[in-house]
Amino acid sequence: MHKTYLNADLHCHSVISDGTLTPEQLARRAADRGVQLWSLTDHDEISGQDRAMAAARECGLDYLTGTEISASFAGNTIHIVGLGFDHRNPALLEGLHSIRHGRAPRARQMAEALEQAGIPGSYEGALRHAGNPELISRTHFARFLVEAGHCSDTYEVFRRYLAEGLPGYVPHSWARLGDAVRWITGAGGVAVIAHPARYELSANEEYALFYEFKTHGGQGVEVVTGSHRPSEYATYADMAREFGLAASRGSDFHSPEESHTDLGSLPALPSQLTPVWELLEKRVIRA
């Protein structure tokens, strides 16, 4: 018999990547907001997993290990969430390390581009927010630009400077799709396409993404996420059924000040989908 979770939240970020709360604060917040099964999915990094697991236990939450891997596909950046893997797996650790390696040089290039656009000092400014040059991200640049008075909130920074085609955007090569999937599955986990509606893919490219993801051994897709509009839930519920993928649910919470969707606040998955946690029953760390 499957254990059903009415409130699973399998996507969020801590200070270890580009969130503003610690793993312990996130666990407490998740529990207070009714989450029953939780995962911390920092970008390209799993060093927070031991803390998240301990905090989950402390707060009475069932837990799945997690990460969100940056990958490149058809000239676009896409994100692959990994759930329920062995967080000590050497190939996974090595793969994640190889992607993080590119972040500092990219950030230097972003800072040069922003300087040309009249914004000095952004590398140092973003690094203050990130703490670690290996994990410096556009979110940290966005926080610096708000702090320095260039924009009124981080969403405005992305609209004016950091999205593709804008002055502070620097193209980057992340992991290959197949590598990202295999790092996760090779460590015993399930790979999930994160927030598919957020990518600027043509219909053909999107089909190719799902098809290739499945071919590489991917098994899930986020259907209900804070990064989707409610109208997009049905679209990706259909895609999940068409491709035989399990469905995931996660807020993509980053910060009480910045995020529109809080932990545990999403609606349930649409019916007639296999929840991704049914594939991961043996990997759940029970509170």
Residues that bind ligand AMP (CB under 6 A): 18, 43, 70, 137-139, 154-155, 158, 163, 254
Interacting partner of 148 out of Mn ion, ligand AMP, none (Cβ under 5 to 8 A depending on kind):
none
- The first and second tokens of residue 154, run together, are 């981080």
Q: Is 222 in the site for Mn ion (CB under 5 A)?
A: no
- Specify the DSSP class assigned to residue 275: B
Interacting partner of 29 out of Mn ion, ligand AMP, none (Cβ under 5 to 8 A depending on kind):
none
Cβ of residue 180: shortest distance to Mn ion, in angstroms?
12
Interacting partner of 268 out of Mn ion, ligand AMP, none (Cβ under 5 to 8 A depending on kind):
none
* CA gap 41, 14 in Å, rounded: 8
Q: Of 231, 155, 227, 164, whose CA–CA distance to 192 is shortest?
A: 227
Closer of 122 and 139 to Mn ion (Cβ)? 139
Cβ of residue 173: shortest distance to ligand AMP, in angstroms?
12
Task: Mention every residue, 6+ apart, whose C-beta is less than 8 A from residue 204.
Answer: none
Closer of 114 and 135 to Mn ion (Cβ)? 135
Q: Which amino acid is at 64?
A: L
CA-only gyration radius of the chain, Å:
18
Closer of 36 and 137 to ligand AMP (Cβ)? 137
Closer of 43 and 87 to Mn ion (Cβ)? 43
* CA gap 249, 195 in Å, rounded: 10
Strand-pair partners of 222: 248
Interacting partner of 249 out of ligand AMP, Mn ion, none (Cβ under 5 to 8 A depending on kind):
none
Closer of 265 and 274 to ligand AMP (Cβ)? 265
* CA gap 58, 225 in Å, rounded: 26
Choices 48-56, 64-72, 125-133, 162-170 (CB under 5 A): range interacting with Mn ion: 64-72
Q: Which amino acid is at 127?
A: L
